Amino acid sequence: MTLHGGRLKSKAVFALAGLCHAATAGAFALRGSVLALEAPGIQAEGIAMLAAPGPEPGIRLEVAVARLYLKALALDVSDLRVSCLLRQEQGEWHCRGRGGWRWAEERIEGELALRIAGEKLSLDWQRASASVHLEADVERGAVRASLAGLPLASLAALGSAVWPTLLLQEGTLGGRFVLSLGAEPRLRGDFRIERMAFDTRDGSAGAIGAGMTVRFSSILGATPRAELEATLSGGEWLLGPLYLALGEDSLALDAAFRIPPARGLELERLRVIEPGVFTLEGDLRWRPDRVWPDGGISLRVEDAEPFLARRVFSLLSLAGFAGLEGKGSAAIRLRLERGGLTQLSFEADALGLRDPKGRWAFEDLRGSFEFSSAPRVPESELSGSSAAFFGIGAGPWRVRLRNGSRSLILSEASRLEMLGGAVILEEGRIALGLDDSIEASLAVAIEGISLPELAARLDWPPFPGTVSGRLPKAHYRAGRLETEGTLEIAVFDGRILARGLSMERPFGTLPTLSADVLLERLDLARITSVFDFGLIEGRLSGRIEGLRLIDWQPVAFSAQLASERSGRRRISQRAVENLAALGGGGAAAALQRGIVGAFSSFAYEELGLSCVLSRYVCTMGGVGSAGDGYFILRGRGIPRVDVIGYQREVDWPVLIARLKAALSSGTVVVE
Amino acid sequence: MSKAVLIGAVAALSLVLASCVTINVYFPAAAAERAAQEFVGKVIGEQPSPSGEAEGGREPQALLMRLLELLIPVAHARPDIDIRTPQIQAIQARMAERFQNVLKPHFDNGALGFTRDGLIEIVDPGKIPLRERAAVQQAVAEDNRDRNAVYREIAVANGHPEWEPDIRAIFARQWIEQARPGWRYQDGEGRWTQK
């Protein structure tokens, strides 16, 4: 007998059971084939059934379903096969045997026990350590499931129905679920996932060795919504640029979200808590056509040290702040609207931040600022007990700010004490550009910074003197700092003026600095005493144009330094030898060792050196030509000592080595 | 008679055309190309194909540019692009080490690609094992910071900050030219293709 059905109602399965009931009485086989079967929320296709009397009492029942689709769960199972012995026991139907199905790529097969009592159906299925217990109340439209040790990989199809790019790889699932069918199906449950490994086809998220305990309730329908509480524990997690290695730690998460009919995701509530470390809260709405969500995020960091080191280090290193160290607490609030940042507020409480390469550090940062079109506080204050840049300490400091739309404006001048003097921020403005780049303009004055203190911090020889000056316009954008104005360095009883100071990537890769420098009447006696070069008396003036440092090392300049041709001018024997050494081997030619040896110092007319540094070669000159060479020192009176250089091109590292040798040991290097 | 007129017309036309053509070779394209070729070669490693191929396989246009460079005074078209500063070489060494140790396997498996603006990008993160993905993301970000600094610095160090886009374009071409078969890159329209 063959039964052809088109679309039957949910009662169909029980009608078939009824037919089987009839079959037990007589000794005939019943073969059924139903093309499709549809009940609310369930769809089955290609159902074939064979009921025949078995060797034992009862009926051997074989059911095959080509495809079974459970709409509420988006559960799509194919090649479902059940083979069991159907028996009637005390008014209930039991069927025990084997059953399996294909989910995604994998075929799962195990032992099966089915029980039908009136409108109630229960199913036990077991394979190795995995078990499923299902209870279905057809009349009430409810299904309860208890799962234990179910391999996650077997849920791959279900997973990708929820998250299309999800690839479930390893791990087991155990827990309880309750599905209530109806116009608005509901699913709730609590479950635990162990040793989970998953990835996504686009590689945007994944986990290895992770654990998860979840309690959730959801309403499935046109606009699915869910609330859940979860604990993420152990393993490694990757979410876009965020990489978390939880190790022994765990994060508590609770969230409520809905999926609107136009897809996207509305996160009505999100809270992630790691007690004592941080709390993240947010309400975000993703639209399928936009990358960035709209909504707000608020992050409160209770302890910056573990937070920076363990939670956001991957984000920091992507942003170029790898290994940023911190302590204390802070809070950040962001508002995103129409794909852009409309509000950013920052609060710090005893926050310390330190660049691991020692380029900058802030201690005990307190206060707040806000970028917003409608700031909650129009004025705010930020202060710190100390700050340091390239090892140069400063502080305490305090800035008062006017919080504007996409900008912060300094509302009054702020003084930063450092190195026995001060840097005064006279004007300041930081703005977020339309492309979210940061732009800053400043007016800075420098008051009496002590050069010996600066030199000590930078490991330089102990220069005497002070630095002061004004940079009325300094502008920073896209890693470039350009200034107008002059820095004046009062040093060695003369002064050094630096103009056109500009820097690129000061805290980044390959920092550069450019400037034009003017030297005015520096007292050579003081310079040579500091540098232990051998005494020279006189005044030195000159210019270093187009000075350019890369990584704080000079790579280009055009320098001309010469003594003033007035006043007392004398040079010691040692200084003569050192000057000769600077000029290279050729300079020794005009040196009369015998005469030099007899006097401790000599009068001179002028001395000077010029060097045009380019491509690591210094093209040298002096204070006038002397035949094939150039005068480095032009003597005066008797005995007259001239130092004449002949080497025009010197490798810069060689020149530096000569200078260092002359300064440190006092011995002359003649090559 | 008519032949003379024709010759005259052709001569006049040539003269007009010749007087209209102005070629200003300010940017030393060939020198920049050589510098980029050297830099990229040192980062990516040994070229599997003989280096003569790159030279010989030049388009006639490039050859013309080089001939023009010979003709035009050195002051106009600088003869060399300097990349041999220790700082740039330090970055080159760092990039080479990063390339061999971290990035290369992921170029080989198609996860990374060269962009048309001389940077690198994760094209297919799914091809990077999960455990390495965060480290590769970081290496890519660091490498791009180095690349941006190098392009800018070469332009500035040669006295022409405005050359940065040209330097970048030449480097972008070199990264792609020296890419191994199978590596991915972005074509002129921004589409990802395989070498």
User: How do A4-8 and A30-39 pair as beta strands?
Assistant: parallel
Do B149 and A200 lie within an 8 Å CB cutoff?
A: no
Confidence of residue A639 (pLDDT cuts 50, 70, 90): confident
Give the number of residues written for chain B. Answer: 195
Check whether residue A507 and residue A635 sit in a common domain. Answer: yes
Confidence of residue A474 (pLDDT cuts 50, 70, 90): very high
User: Residue A633 pLDDT more than 60?
Assistant: yes
Average pLDDT, chain B: 78
- Tokens 């499923």, located at residue: A132
A335 phi and psi angles, rounded to 5 deg: -125, 125
Task: Return the higher-pLDDT residue of B71 and A637.
Answer: A637
Which residue of A550, A558, A652, A654 is the best one to mutate when testing the B interface, meaning the one whose CB has the most B CBs within 10 A? A550
- Lowest mean per-residue pLDDT among A3-12, A170-179, A206-215, A269-278: A3-12
Do A318 and B149 lie within an 8 Å CB cutoff?
A: no
Quick one: pLDDT at residue B2?
A: 58
Task: Return the higher-pLDDT residue of A229 and B78.
Answer: A229
Q: In terms of residue numbers, what domain contains B111?
A: 27-194
Check whether residue A535 and residue A461 sit in a common domain. Answer: no
Classify residue B159: in a domain, yes or no. yes
User: Residue B1 pLDDT more than 60?
Assistant: no
Average pLDDT, chain A: 85
Check whether residue A35 and residue A115 sit in a common domain. Answer: yes
Check whether residue A452 and residue A581 sit in a common domain. Answer: no
Q: What is the mean pLDDT of residues A633-655?
A: 88
Do A318 and B141 lie within an 8 Å CB cutoff?
A: yes
Q: What is the mean pLDDT of residues A129-138?
A: 89
Confidence of residue B10 (pLDDT cuts 50, 70, 90): low
Quick one: pLDDT at residue A354?
A: 95
Quick one: pLDDT at residue A597?
A: 64
- A394-438 pLDDT tens trace: 989 999 999 887 889 999 999 999 999 999 999 999 988 767 788
User: Residue A274 pLDDT more than 90?
Assistant: yes
Confidence of residue A334 (pLDDT cuts 50, 70, 90): very high
- A540-574 pLDDT tens trace: 999 999 999 988 889 899 999 999 998 999 999 88
Quick one: pLDDT at residue B192?
A: 95
Domain boundary pick from A451, A471, A491: A491
Domain boundary pick from A119, A148, A182: A119
Q: What is the mean pLDDT of residues A368-380?
A: 84
Classify residue A613: in a domain, yes or no. yes
Q: E strand or H helix at A596, and its extent?
A: helix A593-598
Report the C-alpha gap between A223 and B99 in whole angstroms. 48
A 560-619 residues inside an 8 A Cβ radius of B: 615-616
Classify residue B132: in a domain, yes or no. yes
Check whether residue A516 and residue A547 sit in a common domain. Answer: yes
Question: Is A3 within 8 Å of chain B by CB?
Answer: no
The pair of structure tokens assigned to A53 is: 């009397």
- A50-59 pLDDT tens trace: 888 877 788 8
Quick one: pLDDT at residue B15?
A: 52
User: Residue B68 pLDDT more than 80?
Assistant: no
Check whether residue A80 and residue A34 sit in a common domain. Answer: yes
Classify residue A47: in a domain, yes or no. yes
Distance of CA A291 to the CA centre of its chain: 18
Across A422-447, b (16+ Cβ under 10 Å) vs e yields bbbbbbbbbbbeeeeeeeeebbbbbb
Task: Return the higher-pLDDT residue of A536 and A529.
Answer: A536
Quick one: pLDDT at residue B11?
A: 60
Quick one: pLDDT at residue B55?
A: 41
Which residue of chain B comes nearest to A198, CA vs CA? B130
Check whether residue A499 and residue A487 sit in a common domain. Answer: no
A588 phi and psi angles, rounded to 5 deg: -70, -10
**Residue A10: other Cβ atoms inside 10 A:** 14
Partners of residue A576 on adjacent β-strands:
none
Q: What is the mean pLDDT of residues A39-60?
A: 82
Q: Residue A531 carries which DSSP code?
A: H
- B99-155 pLDDT tens trace: 999 999 999 999 999 999 999 999 998 899 888 898 999 999 999 999 999 999 888
Do A317 and B128 lie within an 8 Å CB cutoff?
A: no
Check whether residue A613 and residue A474 sit in a common domain. Answer: no
Classify residue A379: in a domain, yes or no. no
Contacts of B127 in chain A (CB under 8 A): 203
Classify residue A625: in a domain, yes or no. yes
Classify residue B16: in a domain, yes or no. no
Classify residue B41: in a domain, yes or no. yes
Task: Return the higher-pLDDT residue of A292 and A225.
Answer: A225
- A67-95 pLDDT tens trace: 888 776 667 788 889 899 988 888 888 99
H runs (alpha helix) in A75-215: 156-162
Q: In terms of residue numbers, what domain contains A94?
A: 1-119
Classify residue A32: in a domain, yes or no. yes
- In chain B, the number of structural domains is 1
Classify residue B55: in a domain, yes or no. yes
The one-letter code for the residue type at A321 is: F
Q: What is the mean pLDDT of residues A286-296?
A: 85
User: Residue A621 pLDDT more than 90?
Assistant: yes
Quick one: pLDDT at residue A182?
A: 80
Task: Return the higher-pLDDT residue of A600 and A354.
Answer: A354
- Report the range out of A341-345, A604-608, B60-64, B84-88 with the highest average pLDDT: A604-608
Classify residue B57: in a domain, yes or no. yes
Classify residue B67: in a domain, yes or no. yes
**8 Å CB contact between A605 and A565:** yes
Percentage, residues of chain A above pLDDT 90: 45
Classify residue A402: in a domain, yes or no. no
Question: Is B93 within 8 Å of chain A by CB?
Answer: no
Q: How close A222 comes to chain B (CA, Å)?
A: 31
User: Residue A647 pLDDT more than 70?
Assistant: yes
The pair of structure tokens assigned to A399 is: 């800035």
- In chain A, the number of structural domains is 3
Quick one: pLDDT at residue A638?
A: 81
User: Residue A145 pLDDT more than 90?
Assistant: yes
Domain boundary pick from A59, A86, A119: A119
User: Residue A25 pLDDT more than 60?
Assistant: no
Quick one: pLDDT at residue A72?
A: 65
Do A199 and B127 lie within an 8 Å CB cutoff?
A: no
The pair of structure tokens assigned to A553 is: 């090392």
Classify residue B6: in a domain, yes or no. no
Which residue of B122, B130, B137 is the best one to mutate when testing the A interface, meaning the one whose CB has the most A CBs within 10 A? B130
Classify residue A277: in a domain, yes or no. no
Classify residue A459: in a domain, yes or no. yes
Check whether residue A503 and residue A646 sit in a common domain. Answer: yes
